[in-house]
Amino acid sequence: LSVADAVITAKSNLTFTLLGNAAIPSIVETSGKIRTLPSGKSWTIRWSGTRDLEGINSLLSLKVGKSTTKYKYGQIQVKLVKSALLGYRIEVTNSVRLHDEYLWGIGEMPSSWPLAALQAQVIASRTYALNKAGKIKSACDCDLYAATADQSFVGYSKEAEARYGAIWKSVVTSTSIDDSHGVAILYHDLPIAAYFFSSSGGQTESAIDAWGSYVPYAIGVADPWSLQINLNARYVSWIRPVSQEVVAGAFSLDDVMRLEISNRHQSGTVASITATSSKGKKSVLTGEAFRSKAKLPSTWFDFEIPQISEATPAPTDTATSNL
């Protein structure tokens, strides 16, 4: 392992400590000896067995809080960044080759699923990444976040899965044409924004309903597989209790005595929902805004409100989805 021209032996620990507008790296060697490196604002970490540093194959384990992720490919950039809201913080970026090293670490789908599903996931993930490549986000100095803001990237743990890790790697290879080309979805010769999700309410959403702008390749289509309980047992139907406090807070009302779904999109999702307070004040939210505030799985829902009187406690609304 090397960083800032310093060589770090195997099983040693490298720690970055944020101190004001600088970060201080220190090395804890296996002997217990601590070496402090000069403070700074950015570092590049390389480990042996990669394209960036020759030597025996090795892994780098990165621990942030209680979470540890293992990396086998590429290199790590540690950079001090500043935002108006959070101030200074440390951002860690893994730079890998998109064609294979990145895709080997995508954790969006269980590797035990059918091969056709895995191939579809690889193609969607490759296309999504190609669409984002080169558009550097200043907040992280990266093309892609490693979580649901973009795609789940779990590093080496994906291919290290017993039995199924090798299957996932082979599927990535099966969608590659050669060492530098792979199957992707294009529109006018450019990779599309290949958004994907686990299931729908039987009909996918058009982009104009989801985001308010027309996208020619993102048109709602039938999705009968999401209605099959053997394929989608968790979300064919679901029930979520939502407290009066949460509902009132979502609409910025003192209380809510009536809820009404004002409009639905063509797919059946809630487009807008209106709440009325005990004083007759009304407030309207989009279906997506209410879903987010109420922490519902999707905007494919209806609801039931218990009948109440002045003597009964504040009710709990129940959002239901019966597809």
Block residue for tokens 């220190």 = 26
Block residue for tokens 């004040």 = 281
Q: 254-270, pLDDT tens digit by residue?
A: 999 999 999 999 899 99
pLDDT band (50, 70, 90) for residue 319: low
- Which range, of 58-62, 77-81, 96-100, 124-128, averages the lowest pLDDT? 77-81
User: Would you state the pLDDT for residue 259?
Assistant: 92
Q: Is 8 helix (H, G, I), strand (E, B) or coil?
A: coil
In the chain, % of residues over pLDDT 70: 93
Helices (H), 19-62: none
pLDDT band (50, 70, 90) for residue 312: very low
Q: 124-171, pLDDT tens digit by residue?
A: 999 999 999 999 887 778 899 999 899 999 999 999 999 999 999 999
Compute the average pLDDT of residues 6-14. 85
Helices (H), the chain: 103-104, 115-132, 164-174, 207-211, 244-251, 287-294
User: Would you state the pLDDT for residue 276?
Assistant: 95
What residue type is 129 in one-letter code? A
Q: How far is CA 53 from CA 46, 61, 202, in A?
A: 6, 17, 49
User: Would you state the pLDDT for residue 316?
Assistant: 58
Q: 102-116, pLDDT tens digit by residue?
A: 999 999 999 999 999
80 vs 122, higher pLDDT? 122
String of DSSP letters for 72-122: -SSEEEEEEEEETTTEEEEEEEEE--IIIIIHHTB-SS-TTS-HHHHHHHH
- Which range, of 24-33, 226-235, 270-279, 309-318, averages the lowest pLDDT? 309-318
User: Would you state the pLDDT for residue 96?
Assistant: 95
String of DSSP letters for 151-187: --B-GGGTTTSTTHHHHHHHHHHHTBSSSS-B---EE
What's the chain's average pLDDT?
Answer: 89
Q: Looking at the predicted structure, is the pLDDT value of residue 2 above 70?
A: no
In the chain, % of residues over pLDDT 90: 66
DSSP state of 263: E
Compute the average pLDDT of residues 280-285. 96
Total number of residues shown for the chain? 323
User: Would you state the pLDDT for residue 148?
Assistant: 87
Q: Looking at the predicted structure, is the pLDDT value of residue 314 above 60?
A: no
Burial 49-80 (b: 16+ CB within 10 A, else e): ebeeeeeeeeebebeeeeeebebbbbbbbbbb
Q: 162-171, pLDDT tens digit by residue?
A: 999 999 999 9
